[in-house]
């Protein structure tokens, strides 16, 4: 499908998704968010994507935030609906049957940071900046910034980032656990795609099950979390992929996973 604000390139089992509003620093307006939802719906329905990389067009921004020019002057009902749309976007990425790596090539502020947080993990260029500056506008994060950020970096850092609105460098984001690695910009996309390909080469049923356990158990106590994991372990062991993986290991050959 063709989109006005998103570019999609399929590289085997890896999907490269690019936010494509570079003149607006890839700001998240309703059209872009709606199209991004449509992209994920199509990839999920297609059933062949095993991992994805999400990045921004241009050399300045992953996404500089929500589109303030579109938001300005809207009433509470419209703003709440816009927040709900952003939350649907984050949930769709987070619960897709394949993982997403955010390749943050520049500014990831406000909604852009929240979008990156909905990915499984983040790789960042050395020039990248992260932040939740909404309080500077008299607002709060509306796309999951308060909720996902605290789970990623802990309460103290989430409070500082949200309450001051101050941005942080990629190096600081790495130090506090907001991103997984920082690399030169020229190496960012290639490295993220290589990581995505390594994931795509693993057992798809196992990757899906592991992601589900990691997502569903983060707020459970250890006893219930362990019970959830044990159930998932038993279920995934019944898959054809599991049998193929163990047989391939014994036979000392690469596994040929089918996602079944």
Q: Report the candidate in 128, 110, 117 with the shortest Cα–Cα distance to residue 71.
A: 110
How does the average pLDDT of the chain come out, rounded?
A: 95
Question: Residue 130's pLDDT is what?
Answer: 98
Region 104-114: mean pLDDT is: 97
Question: Residue 246's pLDDT is what?
Answer: 87
Confirm whether 31 is domain-assigned.
yes
Confirm whether 124 is domain-assigned.
yes
Same structural domain for residues 139 and 14?
yes
CATH, residue 179: 3.90.226.10
- Which of 52-56, 100-104, 164-168, 256-260 shows the lowest mean pLDDT across its residues? 256-260
Question: Residue 129's pLDDT is what?
Answer: 98
Same structural domain for residues 174 and 228?
no
Question: Residue 255's pLDDT is what?
Answer: 86
Same structural domain for residues 46 and 148?
yes
* 66 pLDDT higher than 90: no
Question: Residue 248's pLDDT is what?
Answer: 86
Same structural domain for residues 173 and 136?
yes
* 16 pLDDT higher than 90: yes
Question: Residue 259's pLDDT is what?
Answer: 82
* 1 pLDDT higher than 80: no
Same structural domain for residues 244 and 173?
no
Confirm whether 217 is domain-assigned.
yes
Same structural domain for residues 147 and 225?
no
Q: Whole-angstrom Cα distance, residue 258 to residue 256?
A: 7
Same structural domain for residues 134 and 220?
no
Same structural domain for residues 116 and 172?
yes
Same structural domain for residues 246 and 235?
yes
Q: Is 150 exposed, middle or buried (0-12, 13-18, 19+ CB in 10 A)?
A: middle
Summarised one tens digit per residue, pLDDT across range 122-170 is 999 999 999 999 999 999 999 999 999 999 999 999 999 999 999 999 9
Question: Residue 209's pLDDT is what?
Answer: 94
Same structural domain for residues 177 and 70?
yes
Summarised one tens digit per residue, pLDDT across range 186-241 is 999 999 999 999 999 999 999 999 999 999 999 999 999 999 999 999 999 999 98
Domain that residue 240 falls in: 203-250
* 260 pLDDT higher than 90: no
Q: How is the beta sheet containing 14-19 ordered, strand by strand?
A: 6-11, 14-19, 51-56, 100-104, 121-125, 181-183
Q: Tell me which residues are annotated as active site.
A: 114, 134
DSSP H/E element including 43: helix 30-46
Q: What percent of the chain is predicted at pLDDT more than 90? A: 86
């Amino acid at each position: 499908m063709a989109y006005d604000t998103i570019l999609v390139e399929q590289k085997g089992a890896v999907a490269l998704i690019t936010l494509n509003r570079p003149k607006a620093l890839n700001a998240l307006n309703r059209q872009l968010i709606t199209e991004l939802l449509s992209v994920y719906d199509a990839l999920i329905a297609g059933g062949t994507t095993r991992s994805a990389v999400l990045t921004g067009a241009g050399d300045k921004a992953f996404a500089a935030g929500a589109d303030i020019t579109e938001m300005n002057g809207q009433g509470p009902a419209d703003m709440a609906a816009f927040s709900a749309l952003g939350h649907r976007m984050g949930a769709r990425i987070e619960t897709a049957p394949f993982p997403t790596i955010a390749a943050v090539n520049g500014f990831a502020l406000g909604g852009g940071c929240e979008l990156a947080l909905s990915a499984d993990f983040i790789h960042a260029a050395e020039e990248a900046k992260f932040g939740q500056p909404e309080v500077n506008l008299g607002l709060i994060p509306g796309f999951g910034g308060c909720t996902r950020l605290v789970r990623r970096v802990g309460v103290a850092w989430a409070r500082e980032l949200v309450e001051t609105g101050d941005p942080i460098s990629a190096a600081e984001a790495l130090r506090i656990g907001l991103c997984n690695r920082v690399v030169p910009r020229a190496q960012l996309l290639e490295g993220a795609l290589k990581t995505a390909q390594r994931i795509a080469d693993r057992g798809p049923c196992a990757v899906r099950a592991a992601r589900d356990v990691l997502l569903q158990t983060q707020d459970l106590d250890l006893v219930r979390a362990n019970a959830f994991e044990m159930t998932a372990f038993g279920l995934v062991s019944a898959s054809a992929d599991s049998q193929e993986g163990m047989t391939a290991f014994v036979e000392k050959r690469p596994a040929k996973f089918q996602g079944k």
